[in-house]
Structure 1
Amino acid sequence: MITPTSRETHLSWSEVHARRLERHALSAPSRDARPADVVAAMCGAHAQVLSAAELSIGLRISGLTREDVRRALWSERDLVKTFGPRGTVHLLPARDLPMWTGALSALPSFGNPTKNARMTPEQTDEVVAAIADALRDAELTADELSEAVISATGPWAGDLVMPAFQGMWPRWRQALSTAANRGALCFGPNRGRKTTYTSPQRWLPGFRPDDRAGALSGVVRHYLHAYGPATPAQFAQWLGAPRRWAAELFASLAGELQTVEVDGGTAWLVAGDTVMPSTPPRGVRLLPYFDAYTVGCHPRELLFPGLAAERALAGGQAGNFPVLLVDGTAAGVWHLRRSGRRLDITVEPFAPLTAARLHELDEQVERVGEFLEGVPRLTVGTVTVGAHA
Structure 2
Amino acid sequence: MNDRPAEVPVLPWAGVSARRLQRSSLAPTGTATGPADVVARLCGAHAQVLSAAELSVGLRLSDTTRAGVREALWTERTLVKTYGPRGTVHLLPTRDLPMWTGALSALPPSSGNARGGQQLLTPEQIEQVIAAVADSLKDAELTADELTEAIVERTGSWAADPVMEAFQGKWPRWRAVMDIAANRGALCFGETRGRKATYTNPHRWLPGFTPLEGPAALAALVTSYLHAFGPATPQHFARWLAAPRRWATDLFASLGDALQEVELAGERAWVVAGDTDVPDGPPRGLVLLPYFDAYVVGCHPRALLYPGAASERALAAGQAGNFPVLLVDGEVAGVWHQRRSGKKLFITVEEITPLTGVRRKELDEQAARVGEILEGRTELTLAKVTVGPHA
Encode CA deviations 1:39-96: one digit per residue, 9 max, x unaligned. Answer: 0000000000100000000000111122111100000000000000000000000000
Q: Kindly report which structure 2 residues correspond to 1:205-354, keeping only aligned pairs within 5 A, or say none.
A: 205-354=207-356
- What is the rounded CA distance, in whole Å, between the counterparts of 1:122 and 1:303 in structure 2? 45
**Given that residues 109 and 116 in structure 2 are in contact (C-alpha distance below 8 angstroms), is that contact kept between their aligned partners in structure 1?**
no
Residue number in structure 1 paired with 2:84:
84
Per the TM alignment, residue 354 of structure 1 is displaced from its structure 2 partner at its CA by 0.8
Residue number in structure 2 paired with 1:62:
62
Residue number in structure 2 paired with 1:99:
99
Residue number in structure 2 paired with 1:113:
116
SS of 1:277's partner is coil
- What is the rounded CA distance, in whole Å, between the counterparts of 1:185 and 1:147 in structure 2? 16
Residue identity in the other structure for 2:213: D
TM-score between the two structures when normalised by the length of structure 2:
0.95
**Given that residues 136 and 151 in structure 2 are in contact (C-alpha distance below 8 angstroms), is that contact kept between their aligned partners in structure 1?**
yes
Residue identity in the other structure for 1:35: P
How many aligned positions are there? 383
Residue identity in the other structure for 1:72: A
Mean CA deviation greater in 73-82 or 369-378: 369-378
Per the TM alignment, residue 31 of structure 1 is displaced from its structure 2 partner at its CA by 5.4
**Given that residues 262 and 269 in structure 2 are in contact (C-alpha distance below 8 angstroms), is that contact kept between their aligned partners in structure 1?**
yes
Per the TM alignment, residue 338 of structure 1 is displaced from its structure 2 partner at its CA by 1.4
Per the TM alignment, residue 8 of structure 1 is displaced from its structure 2 partner at its CA by 3.2
- What is the rounded CA distance, in whole Å, between the counterparts of 1:242 and 1:58 in structure 2? 33
Residue number in structure 1 paired with 2:155:
153
Residue identity in the other structure for 2:52: A
Residue number in structure 1 paired with 2:170:
168
Per the TM alignment, residue 150 of structure 1 is displaced from its structure 2 partner at its CA by 2.1
TM-score between the two structures when normalised by the length of structure 1:
0.95
Q: What RMSD in Å do the two structures reach over aligned CA positions?
A: 1.5
Residue identity in the other structure for 1:91: L
**Given that residues 29 and 59 in structure 1 are in contact (C-alpha distance below 8 angstroms), is that contact kept between their aligned partners in structure 2?**
no
Residue number in structure 2 paired with 1:27:
27
Per the TM alignment, residue 362 of structure 1 is displaced from its structure 2 partner at its CA by 1.1
Per the TM alignment, residue 38 of structure 1 is displaced from its structure 2 partner at its CA by 0.8
Per the TM alignment, residue 256 of structure 1 is displaced from its structure 2 partner at its CA by 0.5
Where structure 2 has 5 or more consecutive residues not aligned to the other structure, the ranges are 1-5
Residue identity in the other structure for 2:43: C
Residue identity in the other structure for 1:368: V
Residue identity in the other structure for 2:126: T
- What is the rounded CA distance, in whole Å, between the counterparts of 1:292 and 1:91 in structure 2? 11
Residue number in structure 1 paired with 2:3:
none
Q: Kindly report which structure 2 residues correspond to 1:4-19, keeping only aligned pairs within 5 A, or say none.
A: 8-19=8-19
Q: Would you identify which runs of 4 or more consecutive aligned residues in structure 1 move more than 3 Å? A: 29-32, 111-115
Per the TM alignment, residue 263 of structure 1 is displaced from its structure 2 partner at its CA by 2.5
Encode CA deviations 1:323-363: one digit per residue, 9 max, x unaligned. Answer: 00011111100011112222111100011111111111111
Encode CA deviations 1:2-41: one digit per residue, 9 max, x unaligned. Answer: xxxx963111222211111111011126356111001000
- What is the rounded CA distance, in whole Å, between the counterparts of 1:93 and 1:251 in structure 2? 28
Residue identity in the other structure for 1:26: L
Residue number in structure 1 paired with 2:52:
52
SS of 1:255's partner is helix
Residue identity in the other structure for 2:78: D
With over 3 angstroms needed to count, the CA separation of the structure-2 counterparts of 1:114 and 1:33, relative to structure 1, is closer
Where structure 1 has 5 or more consecutive residues not aligned to the other structure, the ranges are 1-5
Among all aligned residue pairs of Structure 1 and Structure 2, give the percentage whose two residues are the same amino acid.
Answer: 66
